[in-house]
Every structure is written in structure tokens, then in C-alpha cells.
Structure 1
């Protein structure tokens, strides 16, 4: 493992964590505080946590959060749900960290040695602006194939139709054969867990809030990638609950809308 260093050896590296909730389950809240406890156990870092309630329609968050929070845990209640990216952007002006984590409430963190290694790797590679981890299923531990290539209209269309449509092309899109065993460029990082360089994240203005949900992570990958290198880092593992609603009518409509916004912005690459 590489040796961690900072501008001054006596200063701890500052790491902020942003988690956006919308009608979270009790398990989401429990998981979040488990992750906070796990991360806080790494005493070589100075952590700050931001729990952002994206205008939930219930009071689960208020009921589950302890009456007394540590001073490094901040709760933000937004008046209106303007999307995943907007929720994360709401804390940009509050961030005073070296690295910032964008994390879903259904992520489980146990790999603390991998986390330290990821920060260490970024410390020693100044050109890296975003690091994406290896993601495994919560249910069976299988790798989620999220080290994807830059999307085309064709790739998204056949994925929507099912895994048996043009299977070789789908395998190519998710880099199934050689995409999960070594450090490599990531063209389409997952928004479930992103480790970004805070200065660069703030410099680009965070997420593009035109995306309410879907493709905001793909867009951020491209934009933050213009400032440096985005990598897939298999030596940090996170567990993801993987709950999607994009096959509901509302989910399909939201996904198609975001897809149009994305391709209008970056160009309609058909194949």
C-alpha cells in the first residue's frame, strides 16, 4: 500500500461525504450510520458528512436520525426535490475538503483498507479527478458490470430490450471480459459511489441539474474527465443494493428524457 501524504505531514486529509435521500427506508438510514461509523474509524482522515433530504414526503429521516449528532454530521432538508444532481450540488459551497464522496444510501462500506488505498492512489496521481470502485451485489456478491463504455443510442436501446439482445455487443459495452481486474480509464462511472477531487468538482459546478435522474453520472464523468483522468479502481470494493425503477412508466419517461438531454448535449452517437 502506498504511503499517504499531504501538504503538511501534521495535517489530516479532509474527506467529505454527500448522501442524498428521498423517502429512505429504515434500512437506508441504518446503513448510512453504519458507513459513517466505519469511515470515522479511520483516524488518519478528517471526515465531514452531509445527509441531504431531497424533500421526502414522509418523516422517516427525521425519526431515524439520532437526537444528538456528532459535529461533523450535517443534515440538510431541501424544500423541493429537483433531482439527484441538484441534491448533491446543494452542499457544494459548504465543502472544504481535499476529496469528496458522492454516495447512495443503499451503499454498504466494509472495505476500509481499500478505501485508504484509493485515497492514497489519488494522492500520488494528481491527474486523477474521479475514482470509481468495484461494485458488488448485496444479495449474492457478484460484480455489478458498471465499468461501462461511453453510451451510444444503440447500446442503450438493446440494453433496454434485455440481456439476450446482441449479447456480444452488450458484453463489450460493460467491458465484461477485461474491465474489472485492473486499474483503467472509466468512460461512464456509476453515480452510486464516486470519489472526486473536491477542488475540481467545485470548479465544474458539480452535476448538471438539467438531469433529474439518469445520465447525470455519465455526464459528470465526461465533464470532470476534461480536467484530468477518470479511473476504475478495483482495489476498493463497495456493496450496492441495486434498486431501479426504470421499467416503470415513470422511470422509462425519466430515463428517455435524460437520454435526449444527454445526446443533445454531447452529440447523437448512434453506433
Structure 2
């Protein structure tokens, strides 16, 4: 059985973080499992509360950072502590209902050409989230900033459906070009080789960037036989400050990777 680790980066929302942590611990029985909960200097006291919360499980470790340097930097802060085969990058709004971490890690170990994977995520009401994607193109990412238009205008809807691979059979394991940062399983040695997340991204699109770099070492897959719940708050749609934060990250991505649709060639 693969040795696994996981990390959640928290910023406020203490109750939601605790729900995620307890679901992960409850559904991941391995004694060698290690769960890191990194607080990104939450201004509401979340980090202090987490540090004082008796989760009743020695496998969880709370790390309090003095500054908020972004989502990716929070995850990178535990990179030197990892001694696992497979590491999971998880959002604090994810809830497990089964032991899928062990299952996904074992699947990765059984498929040496695959270096990263994501499960099929669902909204709390059971609806499927269309998160597996092709490599970002500027038209698709721009269209997705206006979900009302995607829903009502056929041209925009078709762009979004192609970007989110809805023209493929996603009921079977499928190679993808963009793995969502809300739930990633990555080979720990590869995560180290690429240096973790690019710190130039404060938040948003850093998962697309990481996927492109990981693709240099092998394939990235959707594994729909494994499922989890993801609240997916989609803050940039409602928050202007976060919207412009996402725009900045998109500019960084396209400056780095260009505007083409072809994925980075595999070089395992």
C-alpha cells in the first residue's frame, strides 16, 4: 500500500476546515497517513482555534504561518516535511465519504506512467462538477467569468463544454490537461522535482500551471471511480477583488505558457 500525505491550506472559515479535516481522518485509516493543516495567517483567529482543537488523532499537524503568501506558498510550506509516495492537495471545502485517498494512491502506484490524478467531484446536492479540463485557452477562461452568459448563449456554452471536456466520456479514467487544485493527488517525488507551486501566483490558476509542469514527467488523469463532495464557492464570480486577482493569474499563465491548446509533451 502506498504511503500517503495530504495538506489543506486554511484561511478563515474554521468550521468548514474542521469538517474537512474530520471527514479526511475518519475515512483514511492508515496509521502512517499524515495530514497537514496550514493556516495562512487567518485574521479571524482560525489558526489559533485550529492549533487548540483536539482532533483526537495524532496524524494531523497544524502549521501556522506568520504571513499569507498565497494558496500555493501555503502548500509549499510542508514540501520539506513530506516522506510519502503520494501527496494530496485538498481544499478546505472538500468532504470525503469513503476511503478514496488510499484507493487513488494505490491506483497511481499501479500506473507508473501517471503522475497526478483527480477524482470526480460533486456539489453537496449531488450534481457533477465539470472540473477536468483541457489546457487553458484565453477564450474559454474569459467566457467562464460570466456564468450567466455560458448558461444562456449557445456559442459560449459550447466553448465552455469543450474546455471542460464534456465532449468526452468522463465515466471512465481519462487523461486530462488541467487538474483542479481543489483535489489533486500527485507523486511526492514529482511534486518535489517541480518545486511545488509557482509562488508568483498568489491565488487562482496556479493549479493549471502546476499541471503543465507535472506533465513533463508523466500523464495526468481523471479517476471517476473515486468521488468526493466539494462545495466550490466560486468566489471570483461574486467578489470583484478576487475577480481581478484571477485575471492577474491568467495573465501570468499565458505569458508563461502561451495561448496554444496543446499540452506540454510527456517526458516521463
Common fold by TM > 0.5: yes
Gap regions ≥5 residues in structure 1: 5-12
Aligned residue among 203, 220, 240 for 1:230: 220
Deviation at 1:179, TM superposition (A): 4.3
Of 62-71 and 114-123, the range deviating more from structure 2:
62-71
Match of 1:174 in 2: 164
Deviation at 1:49, TM superposition (A): 1.0
**Contact kept in structure 2, 1:55 and 1:77, CA below 8 Å:** yes
**Inter-CA distance 270–226: structure 2 relative to 1 (3 Å threshold):** closer
* 1:23 and 2:9 aligned: no
Q: TM-score, normalised by structure 1?
A: 0.88
How many residues are aligned here? Answer: 255
**Inter-CA distance 51–190: structure 2 relative to 1 (3 Å threshold):** same
Match of 1:49 in 2: 35
Q: Deviations over 1:14-53 (max 9, x none)?
A: 21111100012313313322221221x2x4x620111100
Partners of 2:261 and 2:109 lie apart in 1 by: 38
Partners of 2:257 and 2:165 lie apart in 1 by: 22
**Contact kept in structure 1, 2:108 and 2:114, CA below 8 Å:** yes
Match of 1:7 in 2: none
Match of 2:114 in 1: 128
Map 1:28-39 to 2 at 5 A.
28-39=17-28
SS of corresponding position for 2:53? coil
Q: TM-score, normalised by structure 2?
A: 0.89
Deviation at 1:195, TM superposition (A): 0.6
Q: Deviations over 1:56-84 (max 9, x none)?
A: 00223433542475432211111111110
* 1:73 and 2:60 aligned: yes
Q: Deviations over 1:113-159 (max 9, x none)?
A: x4443222211111211011101001x20110011111111111222
Q: Deviations over 1:242-271 (max 9, x none)?
A: 112113210111011000000000013499
SS of corresponding position for 1:81? coil
**Contact kept in structure 1, 2:116 and 2:185, CA below 8 Å:** yes
SS of corresponding position for 2:6? strand
Partners of 1:92 and 1:157 lie apart in 2 by: 32
Partners of 2:158 and 2:57 lie apart in 1 by: 50
Partners of 2:144 and 2:169 lie apart in 1 by: 18
Partners of 2:137 and 2:197 lie apart in 1 by: 21
